[in-house]
Amino acid sequence: MEQLHVEVQESRARRVLEYPATRLVIAVLWIGGLLFVLIALHIKPALLFEAIGAIVIAAAYVLYVRVVERRPVRELALRGAPAEFGAGFLLGAALFAITIGIIWSLGDYAIVGVNHWTVILSPLGFGLAAGVLEEILFRGVIFRITEEWLGSWGALAVSSILFGAAHLANPHATLTSALAIALEAGVLLGAAFMITRRLWLPIGLHAAWNFTQSGIFGAPVSGTVPHGLFVSTLSGPTWATGGGFGPEASLPAVLVALSGIWLVVYVARTGRLVQPIWRRRAQSSRIAAL
């Protein structure tokens, strides 16, 4: 009898642990806590911090999934990763090239010089590290687990708002720039994850957007000083250039990134959208009653 009682207690504890909201809290506290520790260490230079952060967060995520969710880390499986990452990288580079092309056509972007090609290495490293770190946290943890709880639309809203808010601490950030980041990343990167249910496509897209913005076109990324292949100037109204925050906060960037709506449409048409947990349970109950 005592053994049965223990088994019941363990079963209840496991059900609580498996609930999406519980797992979301655990994952955020674990991975977010490690990130705050890394920030507190003040690791210099910044590129070293980004690289170490990407490695630590990736390892922490794998450990969380294996220990708490008790499953293989399919979203970071290496099989097919090069193709998905490459597709994301090409798409991200193309989308930002279109963005800067629009700003140039408005007369607000100009190239005034060219640096040695080796200058692209640092922004490439930053782009890759930021892509891994931020996509694991915002798409792998926040979007994926929230989607199990609130469904795809709820996860898009929550992850977008949090991603935009996270950029409020950047130099030259405003509520407008945070809203722009939320719209751009929320739709585009959330849809990229839903298409494959893996992180390589959004990591490639995220990394390429940042790298192309700074490393190629020499434009600020989220308020940081650019060091790219092209020495460039941005001059014009903030709505067209993003001001000191960079083109991410511009209307052209928002419009280009929102072209990612077609990815969401594709996800919906191919049945990849997830319903909220209460609707899935109600549907299961109806099926069971038949």
Rg (CA), the chain: 21
Q: Which of 233 and 262 is assigned the larger pLDDT? A: 233
Instruction: Specify the pLDDT at position 77.
Output: 95
Look up the pTM and report it.
0.91
Q: What is the pLDDT of residues 145-198, one digit of tens each?
A: 999 999 999 999 999 999 999 999 899 999 999 999 999 888 899 999 999 999
Question: What is the tally of helices (H) and strands (E) in the chain?
Answer: 12, 2
Q: Quote the CA–CA distance of 215 and 119 in Å, as a whole number.
A: 7
| Domain boundaries defined on the chain | 79-289
Instruction: Specify the pLDDT at position 66.
Output: 95
For residue 54, pLDDT beyond 90? yes
Task: Kindly state the percentage of the chain with pLDDT values over 70.
Answer: 94
Q: Quote the CA–CA distance of 227 and 276 in Å, as a whole number.
A: 44
Phi and psi at residue 127, to the nearest 5°: -65, -45
Mean pLDDT score, 255-268: 88
Instruction: Specify the pLDDT at position 13.
Output: 64
For residue 2, pLDDT beyond 80? no
Q: What is the DSSP letter of 115?
A: -
One-letter amino acid at 143 equals F
pLDDT band, very low/low/confident/very high, at 224 (cuts 50, 70, 90):
confident
Mean pLDDT score, 131-156: 95
Q: What is the pLDDT of residues 78-128, one digit of tens each?
A: 999 999 999 999 999 999 999 999 999 999 999 999 999 999 999 999 999
Instruction: Specify the pLDDT at position 259.
Output: 82
Mean pLDDT score, 34-40: 91
Helix ranges (H only) for 65-135 are 81-105, 121-135
Q: What is the pLDDT of residues 6-28, one digit of tens each?
A: 455 556 666 777 789 999 999 99
pLDDT band, very low/low/confident/very high, at 70 (cuts 50, 70, 90):
very high
For residue 281, pLDDT beyond 90? no
